[in-house]
């Protein structure tokens, strides 16, 4: 039965009921000790307007569509109206940023409204991003601009439909006010439209929540938070104990590995894999300067802040996740006290990622199973070939699936197979005879591998198209929607959201959403690299 009045939402608010609050109640920037959160109230805004909402997320919360189109919905999820059962708060956490310990960070522009328990007895934390300052805002204002909010809203839902573990976004609402931002930190601040995104997840707990307590020596509170997390989010592991802590950390490692495999599968680059941006549930969290690989380049990062070091480049994401888990292991050591148990859990990450990557590549290539004796070299050579010229990763796999090589590829078929891949190339002049020779040799080897599997063309095509998306949230597509939205036209957001709902299925009239990056977008702000400014 759908909820037709927001007041009927069932808030549980276990986080604030069971964990200690900041003793200070004034909302001023400060260091917060011996507390997991601070009570805060969202800032009031003058003229909120609903840009879009996610029907799928509304369904998770049992909300009737009529509620989502109401003034009460807009007022509530922009922060102007606090329901009686809500208990707004911002949490305290720390983290490593670009490899360096940053101390206290916390929810600087996120305010949690509370936790809902839906009719399926699922718990969903509700959080507003851009709803005003908190004690953790440091020198910032706690607000967000429309361009980054459009990107967060669309990407959260795009990732969900791609099958990638992720937080969700319920709504995107403009505030009617402007926010001053220096988009590229180059001394050119401008007034931009303000907005608030309502994010939804089973939990927003991050690695950094545990790190800050351990770093400060607040070990009793560390134990309390770990116990709470296990009871609330990992209840299947049983009662908290030193043994359970080890099993729990192992599961965190496993979930993180599975998430990273999905990132690599679809070509997603997070851009800011700081430990404070890592979910304890293995969910993709904090959509800032992210991007999708367009031309396949393992060294690419979408983050201007990381342009020189490229710490968070696409090809380094598996290693960074491992490093981040190591920092979490250090934070948990005072509770687990068994170095070998932590090492074993880290090994589980490596094993899960390796097995997951092999299975993922087998599926992307239409193989029945990954056979290291042949497929290690097959995959390695493919990834080299894709880097030799500007090759659109998303389109390459979709075009490869169309080549019928169920009976292998004869010499007479190779040229047409190469032609089939041509839509994936950005610069046709790069397709030299030397490149073609190497590609043709790979295609012959690949065709023989497929023939050995004895699979029909349709069977392989269906498998490949089920894991290789056609529609992804390319940066230039997001920017086009942002350009319109900043002029008050939200149709682009709605149309793009609709296209991204079915990323694996080709739809009539949607060809422009699967097109590779146009030349005008190669270097344009917002279409290639982005900053953390929001």
Please list the active-site residues. Answer: 276
Neighbours of 247 (CB within 10 A): 16
Report d(CA 258, CA 352) in Å as an integer: 7
H or E, element range at 127: strand 123-129
| C-alpha span between 38 and 32 (Å, rounded) | 8
Which residues lie closer than 8 Å to 286 by C-beta, 6 or more apart? 272, 277
- Measured CA to CA, the distance from residue 276 to residue 207 in angstroms comes to 6
CA distances from 268 to 230, 313, 325, 408 (A): 29, 10, 20, 32
Alpha-carbon distance of 366 to 348, in angstroms, equals 27
> What's the CA gap between 317 and 6, in Å, rounded?
40
Q: Can you tell me the distance from the alpha carbon of 316 to that of 312, in angstroms, rounded to the nearest whole number? A: 6
**Three-state secondary-structure class, residue 254:** helix
Q: The tokens of 77 are what? A: 């999820």
Beta bridge partners of residue 38, listed in sequence order: 90
* HSE-up (13 A, CA, CB side) for residue 413: 12
DSSP reduced 3-state for 425: strand
Other CB atoms within a 10 A radius of the CB of residue 228 amount to 17
Q: In this structure, what DSSP letter does residue 44 have?
A: P
CA–CA gap between residue 30 and residue 417 (Å, rounded): 62
Q: Which residues contact 91 (CB under 8 A, 6 or more apart)?
A: 36, 37, 106, 107, 112, 136, 204, 209
């Amino acid at each position: 039965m759908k909820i037709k009045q927001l007041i009927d939402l069932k808030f549980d608010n276990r986080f604030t009921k069971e964990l200690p609050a900041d003793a200070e109640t004034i909302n001023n920037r400060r260091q917060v000790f011996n507390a997991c959160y601070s009570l805060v109230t969202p800032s009031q805004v003058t003229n909120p307007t609903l840009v879009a909402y996610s029907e799928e997320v509304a369904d998770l919360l049992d909300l009737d569509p009529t509620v989502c189109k109401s003034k009460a919905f807009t007022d509530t999820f922009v922060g102007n109206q606090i329901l009686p059962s809500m208990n707004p708060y911002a949490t305290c956490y720390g983290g490593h940023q670009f490899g360096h310990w940053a101390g206290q960070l916390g929810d600087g522009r996120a305010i949690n409204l509370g936790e809902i328990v839906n009719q399926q007895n699922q718990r969903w934390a509700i959080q507003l991003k851009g709803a005003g300052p908190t004690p953790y805002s440091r020198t910032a204002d706690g607000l967000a601009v429309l361009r980054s909010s459009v990107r967060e809203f669309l990407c959260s839902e795009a990732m969900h439909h791609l099958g990638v573990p992720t937080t969700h976004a319920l709504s995107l609402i403009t505030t009617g006010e402007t926010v001053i931002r220096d988009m590229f930190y180059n001394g050119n601040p401008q007034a931009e439209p303000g907005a608030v995104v309502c994010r939804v997840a089973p939990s927003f707990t991050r690695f950094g929540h545990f790190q800050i307590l351990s770093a400060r020596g607040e070990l009793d509170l560390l134990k309390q938070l770990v116990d709470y997390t296990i009871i609330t989010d990992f209840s299947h592991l049983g009662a908290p104990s030193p043994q359970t802590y080890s099993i729990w950390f192992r599961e965190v490692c496993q979930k993180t590995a599975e998430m990273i495999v999905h990132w690599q599968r679809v070509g997603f680059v997070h851009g800011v894999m700081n430990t404070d941006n890592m979910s304890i549930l293995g969910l993709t969290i904090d959509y800032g300067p992210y991007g999708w690989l367009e031309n396949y380049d393992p060294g690419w990062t979408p983050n201007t802040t990381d342009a020189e070091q490229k710490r968070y480049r696409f090809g380094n994401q598996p290693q960074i996740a491992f490093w981040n888990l190591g920092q979490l292991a250090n934070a948990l050591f005072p509770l687990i006290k068994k170095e070998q148990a932590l090492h074993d859990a880290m090994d589980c990450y490596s094993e899960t990622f390796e097995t997951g990557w092999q299975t993922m590549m087998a599926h992307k290539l239409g193989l029945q199973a990954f056979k290291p004796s042949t497929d290690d070299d097959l995959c390695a050579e493919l990834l080299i070939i894709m880097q030799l010229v500007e090759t659109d990763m998303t389109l390459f796999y979709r075009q490869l699936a169309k080549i019928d090589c169920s009976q292998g590829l004869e010499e007479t078929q190779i040229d047409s197979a190469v032609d089939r891949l041509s839509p994936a190339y950005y610069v046709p002049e790069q397709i030299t005879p030397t490149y073609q020779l190497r590609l043709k040799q790979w295609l012959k080897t690949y065709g023989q591998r497929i023939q050995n599997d004895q699979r029909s063309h349709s069977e392989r095509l269906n498998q490949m198209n089920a894991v290789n998306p056609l529609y992804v949230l390319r940066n230039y597509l997001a920017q086009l929607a942002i350009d319109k939205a900043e002029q008050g036209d939200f149709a682009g957001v709605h149309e793009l959201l609709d296209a991204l709902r079915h990323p694996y299925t080709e739809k009539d009239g949607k060809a422009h959403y699967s097109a590779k990056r146009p030349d005008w977008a190669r270097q344009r702000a917002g279409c290639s690299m982005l900053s953390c400014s929001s």
